[in-house]
A = this chain, B = another copy of it.
Amino acid sequence: MRQASIYDTTLRDGTQAEELHLTTEDKIRIAGKLDDLGIHYIEGGWPGSNPTDKQFFNEIKNYAFKNAVISAFGSTHNAKLAPEADGNLQAIVEAQVEAAAIFGKTWDFHVTSALRVSLPRNLQLIGDSLAFLRPHLRELFFDAEHFFDGFKANPDYAIACLKAATQAGADVLVLCDTNGGTLTGDLGEIIRKVQAELPEARLGIHTHNDAELAVANSLEAVRLGAVQVQGTVNGYGERCGNANLCSIIPTLELKCGVECIGKENLQKLTRVSLFVAETANQRPFPRQPYVGGSAFAHKGGIHVSAVVKNPHTYEHIEPALVGNRNRVLLSDLAGRSNVLFKARQYGYDLDKDDPAVLDLLAELKRREAEGYEYSVAEASYEILFFRMMGWSKRYFQLLNYRVLDAVTEEKEPFSEATVMLQVRGEVAHTAATGRGPVNALDVALRRALEPSYPNLQQMRLLDFKVRVMSMAHKDGGTASYVRVLIESGDKQGRWTTVGVSHNVIEASWQALVDSLNYKLFKDDPQKWPRRSVEHGAPPAMPGKD
């Protein structure tokens, strides 16, 4: 089976993305995950460029990797200095890595207008820089910056740059589409011409996504014989990003017959993608191929009913192969199939013409129009479902709450909440301070409830997301609504609830109350039977929430 090695540059080129920052600790944690995933090379950064990267190379020496080789990045040496006097090349030597990638100019226009040296001088810079590093490294890669643009402008010069790198000992010539605008057909043609000029060369590919072709271009290069693919997790990178390894790896493994990380490791891909997003504090892109939250999510009624019969009908691969799963979305567009599918999960085998189903669809539609989004807040949906099915038990009832936020010139911001509830026939009136108004409300609410429901101590709030939605032309203008999603968990699992209001505090309150209700409901031995309907069909239409 053909093989290709994966060279990850998330820690270097990935951090060029807007709003993406990684600390040294973040980088070390990500490197560990990439190694575990079976990535062959991890480019840690540019040791000569900044203190974070220098520190990374110092600390990474203390870690043993089972798969990955750590690589350092740098440029050809400063034209005014000898290679051995160049701080950036020296820093690579001092980093004591086994591999390094050195980028050099191969586009004549860049040589003269950005680097501002003569064309022959640039060939010397490439040769001398690589020759200087060669004895210090086990593997040496030459990143031919702007190679495809350079080849189009001056093919002889671009090839001369590659030859200079080869002569100085480069193991792999990595052809870079730095500006990301090369068409797949042009890229293939240029690679074939390079192979004609340098038949022995081992080629790598490094693409950017400015024309949304980074993945296609990387796959085309591998098809033509490239042995190394450079890219980043989730395609992070400057401008439109780098080639997305989370798409390239499964396509190579599952569709192209090229082995890179192995089928077993492939199952970790979704987890690694999320881990990197989380660590880099990036909102995961739901439509991301293979690993995205929506990648195998079905909403259209026809699709849902077909997928329920046979997932192969609307899924190009089995989601479990990449560690993902399929989902059926709840939505006003979805029609009854989705509602019936969920009902079955809750133990109700409802008929599609059951009036309860129609009422539930109508209620769902009304609430979604208000901004509730149940596809991401299934616990809130489950509460709604059981309320509609006649579950009328109330664990507590709100009398009132109040939150005060105050700031004075000298003091830290201060949040205080008071809550008055009816709990099991008694009035509970509590107060609490907190880190922000939502935290204060949460603490006060628990103080009121925990004496009656000690199991609430087991649960905690895990995440809190706020989205401002502008709901156009409701009563004329545009009104801003706030949707709050709260993720909570206990030892058994996690659940998400939703609240919507034009007031962020009220929206948070709704989601908090749903979350506590869900915990109480799921632990309640007297709740409606969930896995069977042996007590007969539930009574029709209860008092709504």
Residue positions of A touching B, CB distance < 8 A: 15-19, 21, 25-26, 50, 75, 109-110, 113-114, 178-181, 183-185, 209-213, 215-216, 219-220, 223, 235, 237-241, 244, 247, 251, 255-256, 278-279, 281, 283, 285-290, 292-300, 302-303, 306, 309-310, 312-317, 329, 331-333, 368, 373, 375-376, 397-409, 413, 415, 435-438, 463-470, 472-473, 479-480, 482, 501-506, 509
Contacts and interface: CB of A to CB of B under 8 A. Distances in A.
A57 to B, nearest CB: 17
10 contacts: A18-B297, A19-B373, A21-B333, A185-B223, A212-B289, A240-B295, A400-B406, A413-B501, A436-B482, A437-B505
A316 B181 contact: yes
Contacts of A502: 435-436
A213 B216 contact: yes
A473 B25 contact: yes
Contacts of A331: 21
Nearest to A251: B211
B464 A466 contact: no
A309 B179 contact: no
A503 B415 contact: yes
Nearest to A50: B333
A503 B405 contact: yes
A302 B88 CA distance: 14
A503 B464 contact: no
A221 to B, nearest CB: 12
Nearest to A410: B400
Given A376-B19, A401-B406, A408-B399, A295 B239 contact: yes
Contacts of A251: 183, 211-212
Contacts of A435: 479-480, 502-503
The count of identical subunits is 2
Contacts of A25: 472-473
B240 A288 contact: yes
Contact of A240 (B292, B333, B467): B292
Considering residues A180, A404, A407, A469, which has the most beta carbons from chain B within 10 angstroms of its beta carbon? A407
B503 A480 contact: no
Q: Which 10 A-B pairs have the closest CB atoms?
A: A181-B316, A216-B216, A436-B503, A466-B466, A212-B247, A400-B408, A413-B506, A179-B316, A212-B215, A405-B505
Contacts of A279: 472
A468 B331 CA distance: 26
Contacts of A299: 16-18, 238
Considering residues A211, A235, A293, which has the most beta carbons from chain B within 10 angstroms of its beta carbon? A211
A401 to B, nearest CB: 5
Contacts of A403: 404-406
A438 B310 CA distance: 49
A19 to B, nearest CB: 6
A88 to B, nearest CB: 11
Contact of A210 (B212, B237, B289, B306): B289
Contacts of A240: 287-289, 292, 294-295
Contact of A506 (B15, B287, B407, B468): B407
Nearest to A398: B409
Nearest to A509: B407
Contact of A413 (B26, B179, B503): B503
